[in-house]
Structure 1
Amino acid sequence: MREIEAAPAARAGTGADSKNSWGTEARQSFTLAWPLIVAQLAQNLLFTTDVVLMGWLGPTYLAAGTLANAFMVPLLLTGIGVVGAVAPLVAQARGAGNIKAVRRIVRQGFWAALLLATLLLPVVLNVRAVFTAIGQDPEITTLAEGYLFAGAWMLYPALGIIVIRSLLAAYDDTKAILVITVVGVVVNAFAAYALMFGQFGLPRLELRGAAIATGLVNVVMFLIMLAYVLRHRKFKRFNILARFFKPDWRHFRAIFRIGLPIGLTVAAEVGLFSVAAMLMGRLGTNELAAHAVALQLASTAFMVPLGLGMAATVRVGIAYGRGDRAGVHRGGWTALAMGTGFMAMTCIVFLVLPETLVGIFLNRADPANTVALGLAATYLGIAGVFQLVDGAQVVAAHALRGLSDTKVPMLLAILGYWAVGLPTAYVLGFVLDWRGAGIWWGLATGLAVVALVLVTRFAMRERLGLLRRISAPA
């Protein structure tokens, strides 16, 4: 079974977009990307808000919440990666002018989301067995289990959101994603605070309150997005819920063929950081709390190249769908330049202001936080060093997804993260006794290797046959 066919060869290199200058491409990419970037920052703020509130509860609660997310987030992001295949498939269909395929791809994306959430749910609910097997602290394990039991159901709306977001992004309606996500952040902040600390007449649920609030927010965001695409004139024509139970196995298989490698790639990276969190847990509560703070700050900066990468998937996918080699070239390299340029700036900020930044999460006036604050500042300084390669690898991966190239990048990512990054982290952290700093240098090494191979693959895309469905220009 083939993927969405490219536009006829006669159209290759033609059309207004194929004549774009680099400046025009940069403007178009930024116009598409900035709402995605802000939306990703807002989405990350959902977790940042929870981390801040967990820190207010105390280091033990923060450590438990960190471990719980270290277990659940890789599973969630694996599912997000799979259903995220809707974005390049819809972009390619749009570029090829295949409107009928758009409706079918989105419908099968919902099918994939329901299936994946149902498969992942029992895995999340078995958290105690996993944490007990790896020797985590019993008190922290109990708190983490309660947190996940209260919020595991969020898998269903969270994956559904990705399907709709993919449709919106592929048709340049990223501002709607931004507005809806911001609404979610506001709702989460109030709901999490009220449920965690028992405000406004609600019970004090502590960590469980954060999980319940996040789940409710995902439901609200999904329903708003669904109502938007069903009623807006731009998307109403797709009638995405028509014949919802009618199978379309061609597109269903395409989503998994392209999306499963994406999901496993994401899982490989996030899993590396999750294992790092568990290694930090073996070092102590202060190390784990410091890791959570530094990682949250690094993740916030990461949202910018991630948003640019999402835009690159759409820009490259549309160009590929219409048979525009030059458009593929400009779309990918423009996003790479913008992503690495931003991360160069965040690198400087992390190296110059680490103590100020970590003080946002942990009270510097509390003597109990002194050790965690010092460790977090150290880890953040190291995070600043790998900002450049982190931005490059995520943009390159997304540009390749626009070409439906996901299997080889998955293998390269797994090798880079797990055959290089994790062993390096363990050796530096435990064998050489660099402790937490060694673990972070290991993470940086894995990211650098993956960035190098993925950028090289995009640069060699023609030689590797990744544009084989575009005929050579006449």
Structure 2
Amino acid sequence: MRESQHHPFRAELGATLRLAGPLALANMLQMAVFAIDVIFVARLGQESLAASSLAVAIVAVVMMGLNGVTGAVAPLIAAEIGRRRNSIREVRRSVRMALWLALALGVGAVGVCFLGETIMLATGQDPHVVALSGSFIRVVSLALVPMAVANVLRTFVSALGRPVFATMITALAILVNALGNYALVFGNFGAPALGLNGSATASVITACVTVLAYILAIRGDRQLRRFHIFGRWWRPEWNRLRQMLGLGLPISATLIAEGGLFSGAAFLMGRVGETELAAHTVALQIAAFAFQVPYGIGQAATIRVGYHYGAGNKSAIGHAGWAAIVIGLAFVGVSALAMLLFPKAIISAYVDVSAPENAAMVILAMQYLFIAAVFQLTDGLQAVVAGALRGIQDTRIPAVIAVLGYWAAGFATSVALGLFTPLRGVGVWIGLAVGLTVAAILLLARWHWRGRFRLVPESVVQPVSAPVIHAVIA
């Protein structure tokens, strides 16, 4: 589809929506995959839910680190397509090196997770809960390698104009995970009743099925098959690998800083109390579910901005970034309103709000959800702006901003208010809001003054039509 020459901003709004829609839906479906685990584990009791949340807190941070490094393939692919210079070969090289990183770093990530029980004990968690959590994390960490590979393949199909594949495959993952949990947690379909470890096993199976589905989708699509991304997989491209690490390691640091903030909050909640930790887990699931839409918009911004960055089109870079920001703010406004107006109804999707044994947890979860509604705007804004900055391959300073915002401002506030004031869990969540707000303001300032910081090309080059480019912008 040819972009309008008279309304470039309107054209970018349309192009970003077409790309972000399937990505955001896929992200939300992915959260549904994780939510299934929470729903089944919650039926085992608050102790099991607390144990799984501690394990997931570690696994999630490690997974974010993996996705950050391998996710650098997105701006590289987009820029290569925008330049139109040997795009098929260059895209193949980028994807191949990203797969190398997914495999190598994924194995290392599993090793880190095997130390999870030691990490939990070092942070002062309940030893009985840690014992349950340690067994769970050793099983669920085996899903890290296939999940990292799936992230690379998802980025590839999305950047090449097939984001709907990500949506369809994630929908399949929901079905697989639900059946796996139903069978392995409670012993249905003749399977053994593994309890908490059954949910972890279901996650591993789901991750492997997801990778297989992406491989079949890529091989079955004419547009994607022509890139031969699995050809000569043993051949190294050292320059591309170094370039990917140069972009990806700061992205990884950014995601770890953000994920670490929320995982650190889970550990703080573990020290505050088991009920507070369970309430935190439920409220965070809801906030994270809503976050998937602006995160998907940020992913689309990386691709759209990256395409124009590769083409050297300075004005189009601005249009693409601001279009994504407008779309992101519009959505988070709606999600924040829903959390403010219907908190109990939303929480009921995860736990039985009428059960007397859940009464205290539900009250706390509602309080936390109120704060989550307040920081929806800044959380969504920082996600979209960070995506736009990645599109212009600006990742190092945003990583510094993330560490300062999330930890120097956010986590420090959570510790102070959560452990040393009567606010307890509410104080921890106020700290989350502070960290996200500081990061959002600093990132937005950097995007606004991107020209002053010389982050974008000075000249404007209009790209020439090409089939693969239309696949990206359509």
In the superposition, the TM-score normalised over structure 2's length comes to 0.95
Letter in 2 for 1:59: Q
Task: Give per-residue Cα distances to partners, 1:267-301, cap 9 Å, x unaligned.
Answer: 00010110100000011110000000100000010
Residue of structure 1 in register with 2:459 after alignment: 471
The farther-off stretch of 371-380 and 146-155 is: 146-155
Find the partner of 2:196 among 207, 217, 237: 207
* Unmatched segments (≥5 aa) in structure 1: 1-14
Task: Give per-residue Cα distances to partners, 1:18-41, cap 9 Å, x unaligned.
Answer: 765322211111111111011000
The farther-off stretch of 143-152 and 327-336 is: 143-152
Letter in 2 for 1:443: L
Please tell me whether residue 78 in structure 1 is matched to residue 65 in structure 2. yes
Q: Is the 8 A contact 1:93 1:321 kept in 2?
A: yes
- Aligned to 2:328, what secondary structure does the other structure show? helix
* Unmatched segments (≥5 aa) in structure 2: 463-474
Please tell me whether residue 340 in structure 1 is matched to residue 329 in structure 2. yes
Residue of structure 2 in register with 1:69 after alignment: 56
Any residues of structure 2 matched to 1:420-435 within 5 Å, and which? 420-435=409-424
Residue of structure 1 in register with 2:231 after alignment: 242
CA distance in 1, matches of 2:77, 2:142: 28
CA distance in 2, matches of 1:300, 1:45: 8
- Aligned to 1:57, what secondary structure does the other structure show? coil
Residue of structure 2 in register with 1:130 after alignment: 119
Residue of structure 1 in register with 2:469 after alignment: none
Find the partner of 1:401 among 372, 390, 397: 390
Residue of structure 2 in register with 1:52 after alignment: 39
Q: Is the 8 A contact 2:344 2:353 kept in 1?
A: no
Please tell me whether residue 27 in structure 1 is matched to residue 20 in structure 2. no
Residue of structure 1 in register with 2:471 after alignment: none
Decide whether aligned partners of structure 1 residues 18 and 149 sit closer, same or farther in structure 2, where only a CA change above 3 A counts: farther
Residue of structure 2 in register with 1:6 after alignment: none
Residue of structure 2 in register with 1:230 after alignment: 219
Find the partner of 1:154 among 143, 156, 164: 143
CA distance in 1, matches of 2:309, 2:272: 48
What is the root-mean-square deviation in Å for CA atoms of aligned residues?
A: 1.4
Task: Give per-residue Cα distances to partners, 1:349-408, cap 9 Å, x unaligned.
Answer: 111111222122221232111110100000001100000000000000000000010000
Letter in 2 for 1:239: H
- Aligned to 2:453, what secondary structure does the other structure show? coil
Residue of structure 2 in register with 1:92 after alignment: 79
Residue of structure 2 in register with 1:8 after alignment: none
CA distance in 2, matches of 1:423, 1:151: 30
CA distance in 1, matches of 2:267, 2:371: 19
Letter in 2 for 1:233: R
CA distance in 1, matches of 2:156, 2:101: 15
Task: Give per-residue Cα distances to partners, 1:112-139, cap 9 Å, x unaligned.
Answer: 1111112111110011111111121112
Residue of structure 1 in register with 2:343 after alignment: 354
CA distance in 1, matches of 2:29, 2:164: 13
Q: Is the 8 A contact 1:168 1:174 kept in 2?
A: yes
Decide whether aligned partners of structure 1 residues 20 and 115 sit closer, same or farther in structure 2, where only a CA change above 3 A counts: farther
CA distance in 1, matches of 2:379, 2:5: 30
Q: Is the 8 A contact 1:339 1:391 kept in 2?
A: yes
- Aligned to 1:364, what secondary structure does the other structure show? coil
Residue of structure 1 in register with 2:467 after alignment: none
Letter in 1 for 2:30: Q
- Aligned to 2:43, what secondary structure does the other structure show? helix
Please tell me whether residue 185 in structure 1 is matched to residue 177 in structure 2. no
- Aligned to 2:456, what secondary structure does the other structure show? coil
Residue of structure 1 in register with 2:206 after alignment: 217
Q: Is the 8 A contact 1:18 1:327 kept in 2?
A: no
CA distance in 2, matches of 1:156, 1:297: 26
CA distance in 1, matches of 2:19, 2:3: 17
Task: Give per-residue Cα distances to partners, 1:192-214, cap 9 Å, x unaligned.
Answer: 12111111111111111111111
Decide whether aligned partners of structure 1 residues 442 and 18 sit closer, same or farther in structure 2, where only a CA change above 3 A counts: farther
Residue of structure 1 in register with 2:303 after alignment: 314
- Aligned to 2:192, what secondary structure does the other structure show? coil
Task: Measure how far apart 1:432 and its partner are.
Answer: 2.3
Find the partner of 1:380 among 365, 369, 373: 369
Residue of structure 1 in register with 2:28 after alignment: 41
Letter in 1 for 2:426: A
Task: Give per-residue Cα distances to partners, 1:128-166, cap 9 Å, x unaligned.
Answer: 111111121112111111111112111111010111111
Letter in 2 for 1:36: L
Find the partner of 1:275 among 252, 264, 273: 264
Task: Measure how far apart 1:16 and its partner are.
Answer: 4.9
Identity between Structure 1 and Structure 2 (%): 39
Decide whether aligned partners of structure 1 residues 313 and 16 sit closer, same or farther in structure 2, where only a CA change above 3 A counts: same
Find the partner of 2:400 among 389, 407, 411: 411
Residue of structure 1 in register with 2:446 after alignment: 457
Task: Give per-residue Cα distances to partners, 1:42-89, cap 9 Å, x unaligned.
Answer: 011111111111111111111111111011110111101110001110
Letter in 2 for 1:210: S
Task: Measure how far apart 1:438 and its partner are.
Answer: 0.4
CA distance in 2, matches of 1:299, 1:378: 16
In the superposition, the TM-score normalised over structure 1's length comes to 0.95
The farther-off stretch of 424-433 and 171-180 is: 424-433
Count of residues in Structure 1 that have an aligned counterpart in Structure 2: 459
Q: Is the 8 A contact 1:18 1:324 kept in 2?
A: no
Residue of structure 1 in register with 2:432 after alignment: 443
